[in-house]
Amino acid sequence: MISIETVRDGESTSTLQHLLEDEAIRANRIENVRTILVVLSGRSIVYDDASLRQKILLTYPSAEVYFMTTEAFSMGKVLPSGAKIDLLIDFTGPGMRHKWLWARALRSRSRVCVGRTAGFFREFIYDRVFKEAGLKNLPRDVIDRERFVQREVLALAGVPLSPKGNMGADLQKKIAAQVMKRS
């Protein structure tokens, strides 16, 4: 027989697990970041620029965040030409169009580069790379796949995403049945 204390303990364990994952992600945080450039995915935009800016600014509160498309068009504030970039977060994945050798140009302007394995040299020139090719349990749906991969890339950059929007299992019938058995 499962008691309410056991259910609460399971919920506590789940919550503590999420906190430990957030701490591991925060260990990837980069110090002294003032300028962040985010290159959005050409396949699908899972998080809009306002929500990404909010999530990034929670981790790097004193940073300026700029957004670009994979074709190097600015979205919102324009990054000054020739400006140094402290952190580059590149969501460009395999098969997405990029300007020729643009990743190398971004690497030369950036102090720390985080991204996905795509293109010719990105695995060797970026500091932190998420390798999605070897994973077997990736979702087949394009948007779900991009959501998973973009979360992992943000985790490599030290930006945790709160899982509070995900619903847990509905336990109301189980709890009510247990309470009725006790009565």
Quick one: pLDDT at residue 70?
Answer: 83
pLDDT by residue (tens digit) across 94-135?
777 777 777 888 888 999 999 888 766 777 888 898 888 778
Q: Cα 173–174–177 angle (5° rounding)?
A: 85
Quick one: pLDDT at residue 71?
Answer: 82
Predicted model pTM: 0.77
Q: What is the mean pLDDT of residues 149-160?
A: 91
Say if residues 30 and 157 touch (Cβ distance below 8 Å).
yes
User: Please, is 17 exposed, middle or buried when counting C-beta atoms within 10 Å of its C-beta (0-12, 13-18, 19+)?
Assistant: exposed
